[in-house]
A = this chain, B = another copy of it.
């Protein structure tokens, strides 16, 4: 997508921003929940008014054509799109801005840029769509930095329709990829919330979570092989449907977040485009029944494509539904066979736990229900977040995963920590929501939302306190600091506690072998 359409300060594209009417309606709805809050709008500054320091480095002449240092370009690559990133943009805080934005057009350009950065000891941050919500692309360190924007490597190079796989360059964005596959009847079917604004390489480097609520929940599971440029050479794994030949090479690079190399290509497993889709929404009066029903489905071997349990607050805010204990959105899809039998059994399981079916529909049927309302809302959420962030609200999410047996206590601990932090830093004015974004036979991936009343100029610090409190609760009660948002710089302290020490030693040694100058995304995961 042309760079000029992308918002330098907020989510996605400038076209996507809320209209005045939408903003007014959102403010009206929100003020009902947070009465007394000051909803004054704080629009973004003009980048020209920001006192951006001059670049501290220059590329060698051979690479100059690949490198830009325009102020908006540098600003738009300075950080990701977390709440704390957007608010710092709104405040005109510069913090850490890369000196150059490099745009390789070929893999050899990537090699050359890495060689230059290695020789000169210049930190380099691989940048896909820049939708990180964990500080993954921010040069949060002293000294110069190069942001390497991989959007120039955006082609589908080869499609194997028999094995249903494609060799794809890492810089391709979600919509462009699906546009290329659609005429072939194929799809990657990886739809993170950031789908339009993130790249295959970003998904792979961060172990992104996608469309499927069960089975292939992460991009990892859709990966057949990887090609990665490291300072020590190019690593290319073999296209294999399965292997048992030593530890998986791909699993080392999946989740390496730009610290071990730059992913340039991948063979990805594709799906036939679904023909049959059925979905239902099921209401529960009691939360424990909703959780038990969801667990029953997760353990049934039915493998729904969607199995999203919304708590009452989430159901009310984002699906327009009033429920006492929770609203379960469950869906099945197939390119091969009707899936009504699958949904029938899932609904038998929910009925056994007191669930009441509110709606059931098939693909191409018209009409609105809670599931479609929630889906529309889902893609608009980050834009709404930006509109509220401009009005001094703290609107952010965090996510994790835990086992089913531990969930009730875990959930109490996390929400209590969030509540206590909101009380302490926001005077109590706030709402906490929870949904399960993905479910496994052995546990759910809870996804939490926070809506709290902040004070303009302080909302980043307020959020950081809330985030630290919930992260501590997650760490203490055995969850993961991230199920699919990645570690980045924001999660680092808790990641270090979660990661076994010998594994830390092993991966640090692996990094030294692959990136001896330590130029790749310093501060993330390692070092």
Instruction: List chain A positions with a Cβ less than 8 A from chain B.
Output: 160, 162-165, 206-209, 215, 217-218, 224, 228, 230, 232-249, 251-257, 260-261, 269, 272, 295, 299-303, 334-337, 341, 345, 349, 401-406, 438, 440-445, 478-487, 491, 495, 498-503, 505-510, 512-514, 525
Contact = CB atoms under 8 A, between A and B. Distances in A.
Pairs A-B, 9 closest by C-beta atoms: A241-B443, A241-B440, A251-B251, A506-B510, A162-B405, A509-B513, A235-B502, A207-B244, A235-B500
A487 to B, nearest CB: 5
B337 A238 contact: no
Nearest to A295: B162
B164 A299 contact: yes
A302 B336 contact: yes
A230 B506 CA distance: 11
A480 B245 contact: yes
B245 A481 contact: yes
Contact of A240 (B207, B251, B443, B484): B443
Given A238-B498, A480-B240, A255 B246 contact: yes
A445 B233 contact: no
Nearest to A298: B241
Given A299-B336, A301-B337, 10 more contacts: A164-B442, A240-B443, A241-B441, A243-B480, A245-B495, A251-B252, A269-B442, A300-B336, A502-B513, A509-B509
Main SS class of interface, A: loop
Nearest to A261: B502
Contacts of A505: 232, 513-514
A403 B242 CA distance: 9
Interface centre among A242, A300, A302 (most CB of B within 10 A): A242
Contacts of A165: 403, 442
A240 B402 contact: yes
A525 B401 contact: no
A80 to B, nearest CB: 15
A334 B301 contact: yes
Nearest to A231: B502
Contacts of A525: 246
Nearest to A512: B509
Contacts of A252: 247, 251-252, 503, 506-507
A128 B111 CA distance: 44
Contacts of A485: 244
B300 A337 contact: yes
A441 B525 CA distance: 33
Contact of A247 (B163, B251, B482): B251
Contacts of A486: 244-245
Contacts of A228: 502
A231 to B, nearest CB: 9
A402 B302 CA distance: 28
Given A163-B442, A404-B162, A509-B513, A502 B243 contact: no
A506 B260 contact: yes
A440 B164 CA distance: 11
Contacts of A341: 341
10 contacts: A163-B441, A164-B299, A230-B502, A232-B505, A234-B500, A242-B483, A246-B255, A246-B499, A252-B503, A505-B514
Contact of A483 (B244, B334, B401): B244
A148 to B, nearest CB: 18
B480 A206 contact: no
Contacts of A243: 401, 480, 482-483
Contacts of A299: 164, 272, 336
B501 A235 contact: yes
Contacts of A242: 217-218, 401, 438, 440, 443, 445, 480, 483
